[in-house]
Structure 1
Amino acid sequence: MGEFPDYLPQDETARPFSVIERAIQYAAEAHKGAVRKGSLVPYIAHPMETMMLVASMTNDNEVIAAAALHDVVEDTPITIEEIEAEFGQKIAFYVAHESENKREDRPKSETWKIRKQEQLEKTKDASRSVKCIMLADKLSNMRASLRDFKRDGRAIWQKFNMKDEKEQYWYYHAVADVVKELADTPCYQEYISILDIVFHDLDEEMTRDL
Protein backbone atom coordinates (compact mmCIF):
# COMPACT_ATOMS: atom_id res chain seq x y z
CA MET A 1 0.00 0.00 0.00
CA GLY A 2 2.96 2.34 0.45
CA GLU A 3 3.36 5.15 2.93
CA PHE A 4 0.91 7.99 3.50
CA PRO A 5 0.98 10.22 1.55
CA ASP A 6 2.14 8.12 -1.41
CA TYR A 7 3.23 10.52 -4.14
CA LEU A 8 4.97 9.51 -7.35
CA PRO A 9 8.41 11.09 -7.82
CA GLN A 10 8.23 14.33 -9.76
CA ASP A 11 9.65 14.62 -13.24
CA GLU A 12 10.76 17.77 -15.02
CA THR A 13 7.30 18.36 -16.53
CA ALA A 14 5.36 17.94 -13.31
CA ARG A 15 4.11 21.00 -11.44
CA PRO A 16 5.92 21.78 -8.17
CA PHE A 17 4.25 20.55 -5.01
CA SER A 18 2.12 23.21 -3.37
CA VAL A 19 2.98 24.36 0.14
CA ILE A 20 -0.02 22.34 1.39
CA GLU A 21 1.19 19.16 -0.29
CA ARG A 22 4.67 19.67 1.15
CA ALA A 23 3.19 20.25 4.60
CA ILE A 24 1.17 17.03 4.33
CA GLN A 25 4.27 15.05 3.41
CA TYR A 26 6.30 16.65 6.17
CA ALA A 27 3.66 16.05 8.83
CA ALA A 28 3.12 12.45 7.71
CA GLU A 29 6.81 11.70 8.08
CA ALA A 30 7.10 13.54 11.40
CA HIS A 31 4.13 11.69 12.98
CA LYS A 32 4.95 8.31 11.42
CA GLY A 33 4.25 5.48 13.87
CA ALA A 34 2.27 7.62 16.33
CA VAL A 35 -1.40 6.91 17.09
CA ARG A 36 -4.26 8.91 18.56
CA LYS A 37 -4.56 8.66 22.34
CA GLY A 38 -6.50 5.58 23.42
CA SER A 39 -6.83 4.19 19.89
CA LEU A 40 -4.99 2.59 16.99
CA VAL A 41 -5.86 5.43 14.61
CA PRO A 42 -2.68 6.83 13.00
CA TYR A 43 -1.96 10.24 14.49
CA ILE A 44 -1.73 11.87 11.07
CA ALA A 45 -5.54 11.62 10.85
CA HIS A 46 -5.82 14.48 13.37
CA PRO A 47 -3.67 17.11 11.61
CA MET A 48 -5.27 16.16 8.29
CA GLU A 49 -8.75 16.68 9.73
CA THR A 50 -7.61 19.94 11.33
CA MET A 51 -6.22 21.08 7.99
CA MET A 52 -9.49 20.35 6.17
CA LEU A 53 -11.51 22.20 8.81
CA VAL A 54 -9.22 25.22 8.49
CA ALA A 55 -9.62 25.04 4.70
CA SER A 56 -13.37 25.46 5.21
CA MET A 57 -12.72 28.78 6.98
CA THR A 58 -9.91 30.35 4.93
CA ASN A 59 -8.36 30.23 1.46
CA ASP A 60 -4.91 31.17 2.77
CA ASN A 61 -2.67 28.26 1.75
CA GLU A 62 -0.07 29.09 4.40
CA VAL A 63 -2.66 28.96 7.18
CA ILE A 64 -3.95 25.65 5.81
CA ALA A 65 -0.40 24.27 5.60
CA ALA A 66 0.30 25.42 9.16
CA ALA A 67 -2.78 23.50 10.33
CA ALA A 68 -1.32 20.32 8.85
CA LEU A 69 1.91 21.02 10.74
CA HIS A 70 0.40 22.32 13.97
CA ASP A 71 1.49 19.42 16.22
CA VAL A 72 4.88 18.71 14.65
CA VAL A 73 6.94 20.88 17.00
CA GLU A 74 4.89 20.06 20.11
CA ASP A 75 4.86 16.29 19.62
CA THR A 76 8.01 15.37 17.65
CA PRO A 77 11.74 16.22 17.83
CA ILE A 78 11.40 18.76 15.00
CA THR A 79 12.14 22.34 16.03
CA ILE A 80 10.46 25.59 15.06
CA GLU A 81 13.72 26.62 13.40
CA GLU A 82 13.48 23.60 11.11
CA ILE A 83 9.88 24.50 10.24
CA GLU A 84 10.94 28.06 9.41
CA ALA A 85 13.82 26.86 7.23
CA GLU A 86 11.50 24.52 5.33
CA PHE A 87 8.30 26.59 5.14
CA GLY A 88 9.14 30.19 5.98
CA GLN A 89 8.50 32.64 8.78
CA LYS A 90 4.72 32.97 8.45
CA ILE A 91 3.97 29.24 8.70
CA ALA A 92 6.54 28.87 11.49
CA PHE A 93 4.75 31.65 13.40
CA TYR A 94 1.42 29.85 13.20
CA VAL A 95 2.96 26.52 14.23
CA ALA A 96 4.82 28.14 17.14
CA HIS A 97 1.61 29.80 18.30
CA GLU A 98 -0.20 26.46 18.39
CA SER A 99 2.66 24.66 20.19
CA GLU A 100 2.53 24.36 23.96
CA ASN A 101 5.54 24.63 26.24
CA LYS A 102 5.39 21.02 27.42
CA ARG A 103 7.77 21.46 30.40
CA GLU A 104 9.16 17.98 29.83
CA ASP A 105 10.87 17.98 33.23
CA ARG A 106 7.49 17.84 35.01
CA PRO A 107 4.55 15.40 34.83
CA LYS A 108 2.05 16.36 32.11
CA SER A 109 -0.89 16.14 34.49
CA GLU A 110 0.83 18.63 36.80
CA THR A 111 1.37 21.24 34.05
CA TRP A 112 -1.87 20.67 32.11
CA LYS A 113 -3.79 23.71 33.39
CA ILE A 114 -0.78 26.02 33.17
CA ARG A 115 -0.26 25.03 29.54
CA LYS A 116 -3.92 25.47 28.65
CA GLN A 117 -4.09 28.87 30.35
CA GLU A 118 -1.03 30.01 28.42
CA GLN A 119 -2.56 28.94 25.11
CA LEU A 120 -5.84 30.67 25.86
CA GLU A 121 -4.11 33.88 26.92
CA LYS A 122 -1.91 34.17 23.85
CA THR A 123 -4.79 33.33 21.48
CA LYS A 124 -7.28 35.78 23.04
CA ASP A 125 -5.99 38.77 21.06
CA ALA A 126 -4.50 36.84 18.14
CA SER A 127 -5.50 37.04 14.49
CA ARG A 128 -8.50 35.31 12.97
CA SER A 129 -6.11 32.91 11.21
CA VAL A 130 -4.62 31.79 14.52
CA LYS A 131 -8.09 31.30 15.95
CA CYS A 132 -9.13 29.25 12.91
CA ILE A 133 -6.32 26.78 13.63
CA MET A 134 -7.21 26.59 17.33
CA LEU A 135 -10.91 26.04 16.62
CA ALA A 136 -10.20 23.38 14.00
CA ASP A 137 -7.78 21.58 16.32
CA LYS A 138 -10.26 21.52 19.19
CA LEU A 139 -13.19 20.57 16.95
CA SER A 140 -11.20 17.60 15.67
CA ASN A 141 -10.49 16.62 19.29
CA MET A 142 -14.12 16.97 20.29
CA ARG A 143 -15.32 14.95 17.31
CA ALA A 144 -13.12 12.10 18.56
CA SER A 145 -14.36 12.62 22.13
CA LEU A 146 -17.97 12.52 20.94
CA ARG A 147 -17.38 9.17 19.24
CA ASP A 148 -15.82 7.83 22.44
CA PHE A 149 -18.55 9.38 24.58
CA LYS A 150 -21.25 7.55 22.66
CA ARG A 151 -19.46 4.30 23.49
CA ASP A 152 -17.98 4.91 26.96
CA GLY A 153 -19.90 7.82 28.43
CA ARG A 154 -18.21 10.09 30.95
CA ALA A 155 -15.34 7.64 31.46
CA ILE A 156 -13.70 9.01 28.30
CA TRP A 157 -11.52 11.47 30.22
CA GLN A 158 -9.63 8.71 32.02
CA LYS A 159 -7.27 8.24 29.06
CA PHE A 160 -6.14 11.87 29.17
CA ASN A 161 -3.48 13.59 31.26
CA MET A 162 -6.26 15.64 32.82
CA LYS A 163 -8.86 13.17 34.07
CA ASP A 164 -11.06 15.69 35.91
CA GLU A 165 -14.02 16.31 33.60
CA LYS A 166 -14.72 19.66 35.23
CA GLU A 167 -11.31 20.89 34.13
CA GLN A 168 -11.97 19.57 30.61
CA TYR A 169 -15.32 21.38 30.70
CA TRP A 170 -13.59 24.60 31.73
CA TYR A 171 -10.98 24.36 28.99
CA TYR A 172 -13.17 23.50 26.02
CA HIS A 173 -15.72 26.16 26.98
CA ALA A 174 -12.91 28.70 27.44
CA VAL A 175 -11.76 27.90 23.91
CA ALA A 176 -15.27 28.62 22.66
CA ASP A 177 -15.10 32.04 24.29
CA VAL A 178 -11.63 32.84 22.93
CA VAL A 179 -12.59 31.99 19.31
CA LYS A 180 -16.13 33.40 19.46
CA GLU A 181 -15.42 35.78 16.56
CA LEU A 182 -15.77 32.62 14.43
CA ALA A 183 -19.32 32.06 15.71
CA ASP A 184 -20.71 32.53 12.21
CA THR A 185 -18.83 29.50 10.88
CA PRO A 186 -20.21 25.94 10.67
CA CYS A 187 -17.08 24.77 12.52
CA TYR A 188 -17.89 26.89 15.57
CA GLN A 189 -21.53 25.87 15.53
CA GLU A 190 -20.61 22.18 15.35
CA TYR A 191 -18.10 22.66 18.16
CA ILE A 192 -20.74 24.17 20.45
CA SER A 193 -23.23 21.42 19.60
CA ILE A 194 -20.69 18.73 20.54
CA LEU A 195 -19.88 20.46 23.83
CA ASP A 196 -23.60 20.48 24.62
CA ILE A 197 -23.77 16.72 24.11
CA VAL A 198 -20.54 15.61 25.77
CA PHE A 199 -20.88 17.89 28.80
CA HIS A 200 -24.68 17.82 29.11
CA ASP A 201 -24.82 15.75 32.31
CA LEU A 202 -22.04 17.77 33.91
CA ASP A 203 -23.82 20.99 32.93
CA GLU A 204 -26.90 19.82 34.80
CA GLU A 205 -24.90 18.78 37.85
CA MET A 206 -23.09 22.10 38.02
CA THR A 207 -26.38 23.99 37.65
CA ARG A 208 -27.90 22.03 40.55
CA ASP A 209 -24.86 22.81 42.70
CA LEU A 210 -25.24 26.57 42.25
Structure 2
Amino acid sequence: MKRWPPMKTLVTQAFLLAAELHANQKRKAALATGVPYLSHLMETAGMVMTSGAPETVVAAALLHDAIEDHGNATRQSIQQRLGDDVLALVEECTEPGTGGPVKAAWQERKKAALQRMQGLSMFALMILAADKLQNTRDLYRNVILRGDEAYAAFRVEKAAKLWFYSEAASEMQKRLGTFEADHPHNPLLLMTRCWLQEFSEALTFLELH
Protein backbone atom coordinates (compact mmCIF):
# COMPACT_ATOMS: atom_id res chain seq x y z
CA MET A 1 0.00 0.00 0.00
CA LYS A 2 1.36 3.39 -1.01
CA ARG A 3 2.34 5.66 1.86
CA TRP A 4 2.15 9.41 1.58
CA PRO A 5 5.40 11.16 2.59
CA PRO A 6 5.28 13.53 5.56
CA MET A 7 4.01 17.01 4.69
CA LYS A 8 7.02 19.07 3.74
CA THR A 9 7.96 22.53 4.85
CA LEU A 10 6.75 24.26 1.68
CA VAL A 11 3.09 23.32 2.12
CA THR A 12 3.25 24.03 5.84
CA GLN A 13 4.65 27.49 5.19
CA ALA A 14 2.03 28.14 2.52
CA PHE A 15 -0.73 27.17 4.92
CA LEU A 16 0.63 29.44 7.64
CA LEU A 17 0.91 32.37 5.24
CA ALA A 18 -2.59 31.77 3.86
CA ALA A 19 -3.99 31.62 7.40
CA GLU A 20 -2.22 34.88 8.22
CA LEU A 21 -3.33 36.75 5.10
CA HIS A 22 -6.96 35.60 5.07
CA ALA A 23 -7.50 35.58 8.85
CA ASN A 24 -10.32 38.16 8.77
CA GLN A 25 -12.09 37.00 5.59
CA LYS A 26 -15.33 35.03 5.48
CA ARG A 27 -16.90 32.93 2.74
CA LYS A 28 -19.66 34.61 0.73
CA ALA A 29 -21.58 31.53 -0.31
CA ALA A 30 -21.10 29.40 2.79
CA LEU A 31 -24.00 27.44 4.23
CA ALA A 32 -23.24 28.72 7.73
CA THR A 33 -22.57 32.26 8.89
CA GLY A 34 -18.99 33.37 9.43
CA VAL A 35 -17.20 30.45 7.78
CA PRO A 36 -13.50 31.39 7.46
CA TYR A 37 -12.28 32.01 3.92
CA LEU A 38 -9.42 29.64 4.68
CA SER A 39 -11.90 26.78 4.26
CA HIS A 40 -12.08 27.45 0.51
CA LEU A 41 -8.30 27.50 0.19
CA MET A 42 -7.96 24.28 2.18
CA GLU A 43 -10.55 22.46 0.06
CA THR A 44 -9.03 23.68 -3.20
CA ALA A 45 -5.51 22.73 -2.10
CA GLY A 46 -6.80 19.40 -0.80
CA MET A 47 -8.16 18.52 -4.23
CA VAL A 48 -4.83 19.44 -5.81
CA MET A 49 -2.88 17.48 -3.19
CA THR A 50 -4.91 14.28 -3.57
CA SER A 51 -4.43 14.43 -7.35
CA GLY A 52 -0.73 13.81 -6.77
CA ALA A 53 0.44 17.24 -7.96
CA PRO A 54 3.89 18.49 -6.88
CA GLU A 55 4.26 20.30 -3.59
CA THR A 56 4.82 23.66 -5.28
CA VAL A 57 1.38 23.35 -6.88
CA VAL A 58 -0.30 22.51 -3.58
CA ALA A 59 1.41 25.52 -1.96
CA ALA A 60 0.26 27.79 -4.79
CA ALA A 61 -3.30 26.46 -4.45
CA LEU A 62 -3.31 27.55 -0.81
CA LEU A 63 -2.26 31.04 -1.89
CA HIS A 64 -4.08 31.40 -5.21
CA ASP A 65 -6.20 34.33 -3.93
CA ALA A 66 -3.47 36.03 -1.90
CA ILE A 67 -2.40 38.72 -4.38
CA GLU A 68 -5.93 39.21 -5.65
CA ASP A 69 -7.32 39.84 -2.18
CA HIS A 70 -4.36 41.45 -0.42
CA GLY A 71 -2.47 43.44 -3.01
CA ASN A 72 0.80 43.44 -4.84
CA ALA A 73 2.84 43.71 -1.63
CA THR A 74 1.92 40.08 -0.98
CA ARG A 75 4.20 39.03 -3.84
CA GLN A 76 7.28 39.74 -1.76
CA SER A 77 6.03 37.63 1.15
CA ILE A 78 5.30 34.70 -1.15
CA GLN A 79 8.65 34.95 -2.90
CA GLN A 80 10.65 35.22 0.31
CA ARG A 81 8.87 32.44 2.16
CA LEU A 82 8.02 30.05 -0.68
CA GLY A 83 10.20 30.88 -3.67
CA ASP A 84 9.88 31.90 -7.29
CA ASP A 85 8.08 28.78 -8.55
CA VAL A 86 5.18 29.18 -6.13
CA LEU A 87 4.99 32.91 -6.79
CA ALA A 88 4.85 32.34 -10.55
CA LEU A 89 1.88 29.98 -10.17
CA VAL A 90 0.05 32.34 -7.82
CA GLU A 91 0.56 35.18 -10.31
CA GLU A 92 -0.89 33.02 -13.10
CA CYS A 93 -3.95 32.38 -10.96
CA THR A 94 -4.40 36.03 -9.99
CA GLU A 95 -7.24 37.75 -11.79
CA PRO A 96 -6.05 40.64 -13.99
CA GLY A 97 -7.04 44.07 -12.71
CA THR A 98 -6.60 43.14 -9.04
CA GLY A 99 -3.74 43.52 -6.63
CA GLY A 100 -3.60 47.30 -6.81
CA PRO A 101 -5.28 49.83 -4.51
CA VAL A 102 -8.37 49.89 -6.76
CA LYS A 103 -9.75 46.90 -8.63
CA ALA A 104 -10.88 47.20 -12.23
CA ALA A 105 -14.60 46.87 -13.02
CA TRP A 106 -16.03 43.36 -12.59
CA GLN A 107 -16.83 42.80 -16.28
CA GLU A 108 -13.41 44.04 -17.36
CA ARG A 109 -11.65 41.75 -14.88
CA LYS A 110 -13.63 38.69 -15.89
CA LYS A 111 -13.06 39.21 -19.61
CA ALA A 112 -9.32 39.55 -18.94
CA ALA A 113 -9.39 36.43 -16.77
CA LEU A 114 -11.07 34.45 -19.56
CA GLN A 115 -8.45 35.61 -22.03
CA ARG A 116 -5.64 34.59 -19.68
CA MET A 117 -7.12 31.09 -19.38
CA GLN A 118 -6.25 30.52 -23.03
CA GLY A 119 -2.54 30.40 -22.17
CA LEU A 120 -2.46 28.86 -18.69
CA SER A 121 0.26 26.43 -17.72
CA MET A 122 -0.89 22.93 -16.84
CA PHE A 123 -0.45 23.46 -13.11
CA ALA A 124 -2.21 26.84 -13.07
CA LEU A 125 -5.07 25.23 -15.00
CA MET A 126 -5.31 22.54 -12.33
CA ILE A 127 -5.50 25.10 -9.54
CA LEU A 128 -8.15 27.21 -11.26
CA ALA A 129 -10.22 24.16 -12.18
CA ALA A 130 -10.19 23.05 -8.53
CA ASP A 131 -10.93 26.60 -7.41
CA LYS A 132 -13.95 27.01 -9.70
CA LEU A 133 -15.28 23.58 -8.83
CA GLN A 134 -15.03 24.22 -5.09
CA ASN A 135 -16.83 27.56 -5.46
CA THR A 136 -19.54 25.95 -7.54
CA ARG A 137 -20.00 23.10 -5.08
CA ASP A 138 -20.67 25.62 -2.32
CA LEU A 139 -23.08 27.58 -4.51
CA TYR A 140 -24.83 24.39 -5.62
CA ARG A 141 -25.52 23.35 -2.01
CA ASN A 142 -26.59 26.86 -1.10
CA VAL A 143 -29.04 27.09 -4.00
CA ILE A 144 -30.61 23.77 -3.00
CA LEU A 145 -31.28 25.16 0.49
CA ARG A 146 -32.04 28.80 -0.28
CA GLY A 147 -32.88 29.15 -3.97
CA ASP A 148 -31.96 32.46 -5.59
CA GLU A 149 -31.29 33.98 -2.17
CA ALA A 150 -27.94 32.20 -2.40
CA TYR A 151 -26.79 34.88 -4.87
CA ALA A 152 -27.53 37.79 -2.54
CA ALA A 153 -24.02 37.71 -1.05
CA PHE A 154 -22.38 38.41 -4.40
CA ARG A 155 -21.73 41.81 -5.94
CA VAL A 156 -23.21 40.84 -9.30
CA GLU A 157 -26.50 39.32 -10.33
CA LYS A 158 -27.10 35.61 -10.89
CA ALA A 159 -26.99 35.91 -14.70
CA ALA A 160 -23.57 37.58 -14.64
CA LYS A 161 -22.17 35.06 -12.18
CA LEU A 162 -23.32 32.10 -14.25
CA TRP A 163 -22.15 33.74 -17.49
CA PHE A 164 -18.60 33.93 -16.16
CA TYR A 165 -18.64 30.38 -14.83
CA SER A 166 -19.96 29.07 -18.14
CA GLU A 167 -17.32 30.91 -20.15
CA ALA A 168 -14.61 29.82 -17.71
CA ALA A 169 -15.64 26.18 -18.08
CA SER A 170 -15.44 26.48 -21.86
CA GLU A 171 -12.02 28.17 -21.87
CA MET A 172 -10.53 25.73 -19.37
CA GLN A 173 -11.83 22.72 -21.30
CA LYS A 174 -10.27 24.06 -24.49
CA ARG A 175 -6.95 24.69 -22.74
CA LEU A 176 -7.03 21.23 -21.20
CA GLY A 177 -7.54 19.75 -24.65
CA THR A 178 -4.24 21.22 -25.85
CA PHE A 179 -2.38 19.44 -23.05
CA GLU A 180 -4.29 16.17 -23.49
CA ALA A 181 -3.34 16.06 -27.17
CA ASP A 182 0.33 15.76 -26.19
CA HIS A 183 -0.13 13.77 -22.95
CA PRO A 184 -3.35 11.72 -23.28
CA HIS A 185 -2.63 9.47 -20.28
CA ASN A 186 -1.26 12.01 -17.81
CA PRO A 187 -3.05 11.29 -14.49
CA LEU A 188 -3.03 14.97 -13.48
CA LEU A 189 -4.80 15.89 -16.69
CA LEU A 190 -7.30 13.08 -16.19
CA MET A 191 -8.10 14.43 -12.75
CA THR A 192 -8.48 17.95 -14.12
CA ARG A 193 -10.88 16.60 -16.74
CA CYS A 194 -12.97 15.05 -13.96
CA TRP A 195 -13.07 18.35 -12.09
CA LEU A 196 -14.17 20.27 -15.18
CA GLN A 197 -16.83 17.68 -15.91
CA GLU A 198 -18.26 18.06 -12.41
CA PHE A 199 -17.99 21.85 -12.73
CA SER A 200 -20.05 21.75 -15.94
CA GLU A 201 -22.65 19.45 -14.40
CA ALA A 202 -23.07 21.78 -11.42
CA LEU A 203 -23.45 24.73 -13.79
CA THR A 204 -26.20 22.95 -15.70
CA PHE A 205 -28.11 22.53 -12.44
CA LEU A 206 -27.59 26.18 -11.45
CA GLU A 207 -28.75 27.45 -14.84
CA LEU A 208 -31.98 25.46 -14.47
CA HIS A 209 -32.68 26.59 -10.93
Structure 1 residues 152-204: Cα deviation after superposition (integer angstroms, max 9, x where no partner): 212322211112x2222221011111211257632122211211111124xxx
Gaps of 5+ in 1: 1-14, 202-210
Q: Distance in 2 between matches of 1:149 and 1:140?
A: 14
The answer as to 2:183 corresponding to 1:175 is no
Answer yes or no: is the 8 Å Cα contact 2:13–2:81 preserved in 1.
no
Equivalent position to 1:31, from 7, 22, 27? 22
Gaps of 5+ in 2: 1-5, 177-188
Larger Rg belongs to: 1
Give the equivalent residue in structure 2 for 1:91.
Answer: 86
Q: Distance in 2 between matches of 1:183 and 1:114?
A: 32
**How many aligned residue pairs are there?**
183
Equivalent position to 1:127, from 108, 121, 131? 121
Q: Distance in 2 between matches of 1:83 and 1:177?
A: 30
Cα RMSD over matched residues? 2.2
The 3 A distance-change label for structure 1 pair 25 and 194 is same
Q: Distance in 1 between matches of 2:53 and 2:7?
A: 19
* More RCO (CA 8 Å, sep 6+): 2
Q: Distance in 2 between matches of 1:17 and 1:58?
A: 14
What is the TM-score when the length of structure 1 is the normalising length? Answer: 0.79
SS at match of 2:17: helix
The 3 A distance-change label for structure 1 pair 98 and 42 is same
Q: Distance in 2 between matches of 1:138 and 1:104?
A: 25
The answer as to 2:195 corresponding to 1:194 is no
> Letter of the aligned partner of 2:66 in structure 1?
V
Give the equivalent residue in structure 2 for 1:143.
Answer: 137
Answer yes or no: is the 8 Å Cα contact 1:28–1:44 preserved in 2.
yes
> Letter of the aligned partner of 2:195 in structure 1?
C
In the TM superposition, residue 150 of structure 1 has moved relative to its aligned partner by 0.7
Answer yes or no: is the 8 Å Cα contact 1:146–1:194 preserved in 2.
yes
Q: Distance in 2 between matches of 1:105 and 1:124?
A: 25
Give the equivalent residue in structure 2 for 1:45.
Answer: 39
What is the TM-score when the length of structure 2 is the normalising length? Answer: 0.79
In the TM superposition, residue 151 of structure 1 has moved relative to its aligned partner by 1.5
Answer yes or no: is the 8 Å Cα contact 1:123–1:130 preserved in 2.
no
